[in-house]
Structure 1
Amino acid sequence: MESSSVITPEDVLESLMNDGTIDAIRLKIINQLKGNEELKNTTIKMVEQSKVLNTPGAEKQTKRELFDALRQELETSVLEKASKSVWDLILDNGGLGKEISETVERVFCRLSGREAPLFPPDIVTLIEKEKERIKGSEESKGKEKENENEHSDSTSKKRKFDQMNSEEGAEEVASRSSNPPAMLNDSSKIP
């Protein structure tokens, strides 16, 4: 039974928000960020190297003053790193990103009256394998081209300007260009 109305992304989002799915996904992202040791270590290093904490007299400030100053100094850079980590999670085809895609597809199918999944796992797997094969063949073509360029450079008879300049010497080249052209002798003058 297909519905006659068009299902928009906003319809899917509203459904995900109303049934608590967005909150559940948000909680999973937060828990995975909390477990991200690389993000923790980077943040700790940033705090340890902070100008605020390493300024003389910092020990006399209140915790609140230090926290506010640290936030002002580090908030943007820490949030940028956290944001990158979140996008890595969301776009991960094997973990949370896959779960998000499947959930959105399932809700879309339910709202539109279609049967899930729209893209069976075998097709998705085949598409991903084909993308990897194409990417691999492009990389190997790039390597072949690099090898050709390296080989052609070593067998080429042409010299680059820098090579000529270094072989002949900069002074010799300069003196040649400053000499006036030779005068034609009288016998070669045109009447």
Structure 2
Amino acid sequence: MESSSPQRQLITPEDVLESLMNDGTIDAIRLKIITQLKANEELKNTTIKMVEQSKVLNTPGAEKQTKRELFDALRQELETSVLEKASKSVWELILDNNGLGKEISETVEKVFCRLSVREPPLFPSSVEPRLERGKEKETEESGGKQQDNIMDNSGSSTKKRKFDGRGTEEGTDEVAS
């Protein structure tokens, strides 16, 4: 039995990740995340407020400590809570369906398609316009607040599951580094 089409090999998530690491995409995404974190005024302001309210700096005699001693004490006091807030901000960026999250998803899909010799998109976005048309029609007919909520919730939970399903190990490694 001869087949005229080439045999497709099974492409694993590890294959896609390796390709993204080798072509510099992971580094580029990491840089974009760092840039967006640095520009996050809310995160900056929260961190500044935490430092200003720290026990370390507001303890009598703190002015007599060296900068290194203060830094080490501040780090011990605030590192976990600051990193938790930064981690939350990173996940918000990664899961953003309109910004970086969308870019990451599209990039992963393109690499998967290239490796598996398929044409993108794997998951046509024709579903979204149908949902939008349904939402508009419902809104016109009856105000559609309940229908809007159903559409919004089903769309967002599907997207979240898709990202969460990819595995949090990859994201955790990125945040940790």
The normalised TM-score by structure 2 is 0.71
Q: Extract structure 1 runs of 4+ deviating beyond 6 A.
A: 128-131
- Hey, what's the Cα distance between the residues in 2 that align with 1:137 and 1:75? 43
**How big is the alpha-carbon RMSD for the aligned residues of Structure 1 and Structure 2?**
2.6
Alpha carbons of 1:2 and 1:137: their partners in 2 closer, same or farther (altered >3 Å)?
Answer: farther
Call closer, same or farther: CA 1:41–1:2 in 2, change over 3 Å.
farther
- Compute the displacement of 1:118 (Å): 1.3
Change beyond 3 A, Cα 1:128–1:79: farther
- For structure 2, the 5+ residue unaligned runs are 139-143, 151-177
2:30 paired with 1:22 = no
Deviation per CA, 1:64-114, whole angstroms, max 9, x where unpaired?
Answer: 111110000000000000000000000000000000000000000000000
Asked if the contact 1:52/1:69 (under 8 Å) is kept, the reply is: yes
CA contact (8 A) 2:8 2:117 kept: no
Match of 1:137 in 2: 147
* Corresponding position of 1:45: 49
Aligned to 1:72: 76
SS of equivalent to 1:11: helix
Task: Name the amino acid aligned to 2:147.
Answer: S
Secondary structure of the corresponding residue to residue 126 of structure 2: helix
SS at the partner of 2:92? Answer: helix
Identity of aligned residues (%): 79
CA distance in 1: counterparts of 2:95 and 2:128, whole angstroms:
15
Separation in 2 of the partners of 1:113 and 1:27?
Answer: 29
Unaligned ranges ≥5, structure 1: 141-191
Aligned equivalent of 1:114: 118
The 1:11–1:83 alpha-carbon spacing in structure 2 relative to 1, beyond 3 Å, is: same
TM-score, reference length from structure 1: 0.66
- Larger radius of gyration between Structure 1 and Structure 2: 1
Structure 1 residue 127 displacement after superposition: 5.5
Distance in 1, Cα, partners of 2:41 & 2:80: 19
Q: Please tell me whether the aligned partners of residues 3 and 113 of structure 1 are also in contact (alpha carbons under 8 angstroms).
A: no
Q: 2: distance between equivalents of 1:5 and 1:72?
A: 49
2:141 match: none
Identify the match of residue 16 of structure 2 among 12, 18, 37.
12
Deviations 1:99-157 (A, max 9, x none): 000000000000000011212333344467779x89943858xxxxxxxxxxxxxxxxx
Equivalences, count: 140
